[in-house]
Structure 1
């Protein structure tokens, strides 16, 4: 016979946290938040790869991703011929997903579902440029520890003075790279709900640094080009970054100041 399942909620056994299901049906929050999707897949990779007596730490590699409608059809939120009032014509979903998976320790990602429809229709190929250009300036390429404001995966737990700010990145020794996002700037908030992100300001603090001065290079996430640099001082092992009027996202690289 036919069985119908409604109001599904999946809970991660180790933390009791509600998680997004990465599968072939539309749960109410499936894919609504690119940051959470990346965090969930990072956690899942660690659990799978690290299981058993021979568990090893490996970066996770995402499979296909994208906005999918019912019956595996392409979502009305990207289909320009759909009756939806708004469509993700600027690639918010693609941009956020690329940055989130990269910062969560995945350097490879296959094109999303319905890539010809979504990416070709809106000419979104340049969206990849930001993260690929940024990657050329990384201070390290070997395994680091995950920086995050999310305690589930934050091996280096960053804090934000404004709860709307969130951080994802990697740290090794006294060097780090990170992505800072206004959590109101997701495709679901902007496209589905029609809400314009409110610019926010605050401070992000990352622990685990040695005493001394550090150089911070800030990047435009759309182009991957550095926009300005500043010097900061680690205090009590913490580097604090000031974020002003952020309505989207920004990225930064932290390295010890040249002597």
Structure 2
């Protein structure tokens, strides 16, 4: 069931609903487009029908040449046969718990014959437009482990495909075992990183 919450009442549409136009109120405080970057990546892992879309093409995206931010996301999604899978939100975690907050969002898809596709986005909490505007510097992280559910075979090999969300380049692949969940070493990263696992 999909709904839109207004200040007065909840409207139930009973069909998939797409809502567009998002922003931070004063995009000129975000000349690097951090909010645009996060607004592209986050909706995928909430099983959104599409990305968040900015209204301010003429006064923000174009003057600051933010167009390159779209390409890495486009490259990543083009590798995911989204329509071939039934999707649910998953529950990835990052350990050990560092003194900073590293968040992970994920979704898991089941295809014909039980084939699995697990997709995860890991983000340093410092990587927000407000923090960047205030001069907060994101540090590099290493030695972290990603744990996420895998509902495929009770045991089986998965290949992780790690991806740089800023350059659109592959970082490398990993081989992990699914035993109801899988654990993988996160490559060294700053700001955020993405991965998809194939069974």
* Alpha-carbon offset, residue 197 of structure 1: 1.2
* Alpha-carbon offset, residue 124 of structure 1: 0.5
Say yes or no: does 1:64 pair with 2:6. no
* Alpha-carbon offset, residue 129 of structure 1: 0.8
Give CA deviations for 1:10-63 in whole Å, capped at 9, x if unaligned.
xxxxxxxxxxxxxxxxxxxxxxxxxxxxxxxxxxxx5628xxxx98674x5231
Q: Quick one: higher RCO (CA 8 Å, sep 6+), 1 or 2? A: 2
In the other structure, the counterpart of 1:91 is 33
Q: Matched residues in 2 for 1:206 and 1:237: separation?
A: 9
Judging by fraction of residues, say which structure has more strand: 2
3-state SS, counterpart of residue 62 of structure 2: helix
Structure 2, gaps ≥5 residues long:
5-11, 111-115
Q: Matched residues in 2 for 1:184 and 1:96: separation?
A: 12
Q: Matched residues in 2 for 1:47 and 1:238: separation?
A: 30
Structure 1, gaps ≥5 residues long:
1-45, 69-74, 80-86, 148-156
1:1-259 correspondence runs (5 A): 48=3, 58=16, 61-68=18-25, 75=26, 78-79=27-28, 87-109=29-51, 111-141=53-83, 142-147=85-90, 157-161=91-95, 162=97, 164-173=101-110, 174-191=116-133, 193-201=134-142, 202-209=144-151, 210=153, 211-234=155-178, 236-256=179-199
Give 1 or 2 for the bigger CA radius of gyration. Answer: 1
| Structure 2 contact 118–150 (Cα < 8 Å) conserved | no
| Structure 1 contact 182–249 (Cα < 8 Å) conserved | yes
| Structure 1 contact 134–225 (Cα < 8 Å) conserved | no
3-state SS, counterpart of residue 186 of structure 2: strand
Q: Matched residues in 2 for 1:122 and 1:114: separation?
A: 11
Q: TM-score, normalised by structure 1?
A: 0.62
Give CA deviations for 1:123-157 in whole Å, capped at 9, x if unaligned.
1112111111111111543440112xxxxxxxxx2
CA-atom RMSD, angstroms?
A: 2.4
1:91–1:254 CA distance, 2 compared to 1 (3 A):
same
3-state SS, counterpart of residue 139 of structure 2: coil
